[in-house]
Amino acid sequence: MKITVLTLFKDMYEGFLNTSIIHRILEKHLAEIEIIDIRDYSFDKHRHVDDTPYGGGAGMLMKVDVVHHAIKENSSENTHIILTSPKSWPLKQEDLVRLSKEEEILIVCGHYEGIDHRIEKYINEKISIGDYILTGGELPSMVLIDGILRLLDEGISSDSLKEESFNSSLLEYPQYTRPVEYEGERVPDVLQNGNHSEIRRYNLKMALRETLLYRPDLLENRELNKEENELLKEIKNEL
C-alpha cells in the first residue's frame, strides 16, 4: 500500500512516522508513505496557497487550483482520494477496514478556513474523525494512517486485532496484568482460575457492561444472542 499526504506542514509527520508501530510497518516495507508540501504546487514565486473568500468572512481559504494541481501530480487512476473535513460522517472502524484494502490512498489536509468548495469534484470521499474542529487536517490524517496501517497483514498480530473495541460492535472488556493486587484492588479471581469457558463468559459480560455504560447506541444496532441477552439482564440488575 502507498499513502500520500498533501499538507502545508510536513514537519508535523517526522516523529509520527519514526515511532512505534508505524515505524516498524514502514521498516518491513509493508507500506510506503510520502509527505508532500502543497506549497510546491503553487503558481507564483511567493508560493501562495490561499486567498480571501468571495462574499466575505474571516480567515483565508486554500486555493482550488493549487490543491488540484498537487492532487493531479501525485495520484493515478487507482488512487483513492480523501479530504479530511469536519463536514462528513465520523470515522468508524469499518471505514478503516475498507480503506486498508486500497492499493493507493491520497489524503488532502485542509488548513486555515478550509479549501475552496470546488475541490470536492476531485476527491472520492470526505472523512471526519469527530464532531469538533481542529486547526488543520494533519492530525486527522495521522489518525487515518495509524488506523489503516495497523490492519495490514503482519502489521499487528491478528489475535490482538480480533479482541479490540468495535471489532464485534462492543467496547473491549477491562484487562489486567501483574501485580495481582494494587492499592487494595485485585485482579478478578475468574481471570486467574484457568477456566477458559468462565473467562470467555466473564470477558463478554464486561464488554457488554462497558458498552452499556459508555456507548449504549452500539447495543441498539447489535442483534444480541441468547447468552448476551442473559448477561445484559444480569448487568442491569447489578447496576
CB atoms within 10 A of CB 73: 11
What are the tens digits of pLDDT across the range 72-83?
999 999 999 999
What are the tens digits of pLDDT across the range 143-159?
999 999 999 987 665 55
Question: In this predicted structure, what is the pLDDT of residue 76?
Answer: 97
Q: Residue 160 — very low, low, confident or very high, per pLDDT cuts 50/70/90?
A: low
Question: In this predicted structure, what is the pLDDT of residue 221?
Answer: 86
CA dihedral 92, 97, 100, 104 (to 10 degrees): -60
What are the tens digits of pLDDT across the range 210-227?
999 999 999 998 999 999
Q: Which fold has domain 163-238?
A: Trp Operon Repressor; Chain A (1.10.1270)
CA angle 189, 191, 194 (to 5 degrees): 105
Mean pLDDT of 74-101: 96
CATH class of 2-157: alpha beta
**Per-domain residue ranges for the chain?**
2-157, 163-238
- Distance (Å, rounded) from C-alpha 88 to C-alpha 133? 12
Q: Is the pLDDT of residue 182 over 90?
A: yes
Q: What percent of the chain has pLDDT over 70?
A: 95
168 or 67: which leads in pLDDT: 67
DSSP 164-196: STTTTSSPPPP---S-SEETTEEPPGGGGS--H
Contacts of 120 (CB under 8 A, 6+ apart): 83, 126
What are the tens digits of pLDDT across the range 5-25?
999 999 999 999 999 999 999
pTM: 0.88
Q: Is the pLDDT of residue 161 over 70?
A: no
Q: Is the pLDDT of residue 163 over 70?
A: no
Q: Is the pLDDT of residue 26 over 80?
A: yes
Q: Is the pLDDT of residue 27 over 90?
A: yes
